[in-house]
Amino acid sequence: MIIAERKPIAEITRALAPYKNVLVAGCGTCVAVCWAGGEKEVGVLASQLRLARGAEGSQISIMETTVERQCEKEMVTDLKDRMAEVDAVLSLACGAGVQTMAEIFDDKPVFPAVNTTFIGRPEREGMWVEMCGACGDCYLDRTGGVCPVVRCAKGLMNGPCGGTRKGGKCEIDPDKDCAWVLIYRRLEKQNRLDLMREYCAPKNFRAVKRPGRVQAGKA
């Protein structure tokens, strides 16, 4: 799922400085699960903002809400009735959600409260790691299910680089496992090491047009 991380508070308070009536909107999907922008985080951030304003001697009126999925236009549109009093929106959703809010409520400034970082999964409680780079040209079939685009520091298609440290750690970042060691071990276990002898052509990054577009049902 999409992993995000709250922005430094100074960025948020600076963005909201001119506004007195703010809607703080969370999202109940990805960002809720990675503890960045769900209902809980909305409550905590709203409380912090009120305390911060109070400490400065000024006021802020905050409306708190959480949309089940902020990237769904219908769900965001449901908030229309509450927007009359609002002069700015702080969205805790990922970029897709922030932009949906900004489009539906195009007369109000919409600020992001989180930085959308990567596609990943939980490694242990409270920690999420990047798994997929959304490169648009997946060949996890050839690497035994380990992605070298994100998990190899050099993004090598035909690794290893030869600089792997002792213990199978990356030459660049010794805290990381060398992705190609992981790939080797996985293919070894499955008796498919011959795949490593196949040359893999460089990725055509232009194959992914930005912004990407997918139409279901087309060949």
Chain contacts with another protein (rule: CB under 8 A): 9-10, 13, 28-29, 32-33, 35, 38-40, 43-44, 47-48, 50-52, 54-55, 125
Q: How far is the CB of 23 from another protein (least distance, A)?
A: 18
- CB-nearer residue toward another protein: 74 or 125: 125
- CB-nearer residue toward another protein: 37 or 112: 37
Q: How far is the CB of 4 from another protein (least distance, A)?
A: 13
Closest of 65, 98, 97 to residue 83, by C-alpha: 65
- CB-nearer residue toward another protein: 8 or 174: 8
CA–CA distance from 40 to each of 16, 118, 119, 161, 194 (Å)?
20, 21, 22, 44, 49
Alpha carbons 155 and 149: distance in angstroms, whole number = 4
**Per the omega criterion (within 30 degrees of 0), is the bond before 18 cis?**
no
Residue 47's beta-bridge partner residues? none
Distance between first and last Cα of the chain:
26
Q: How far is the CB of 156 from another protein (least distance, A)?
A: 33
Place of tokens 């960025």: 11
Alpha carbons 43 and 41: distance in angstroms, whole number = 5
Alpha carbons 105 and 189: distance in angstroms, whole number = 53
Alpha carbons 195 and 180: distance in angstroms, whole number = 12
- CB-nearer residue toward another protein: 122 or 155: 122
Q: How far is the CB of 38 from another protein (least distance, A)?
A: 5
Residues 62/50, Cβ–Cβ less than 8 Å:
yes
- CB-nearer residue toward another protein: 54 or 174: 54
Q: How far is the CB of 52 from another protein (least distance, A)?
A: 4
- CB-nearer residue toward another protein: 38 or 144: 38
Q: How far is the CB of 68 from another protein (least distance, A)?
A: 9
Taken as a whole, the chain contains a residue count of 219
Alpha carbons 129 and 112: distance in angstroms, whole number = 22
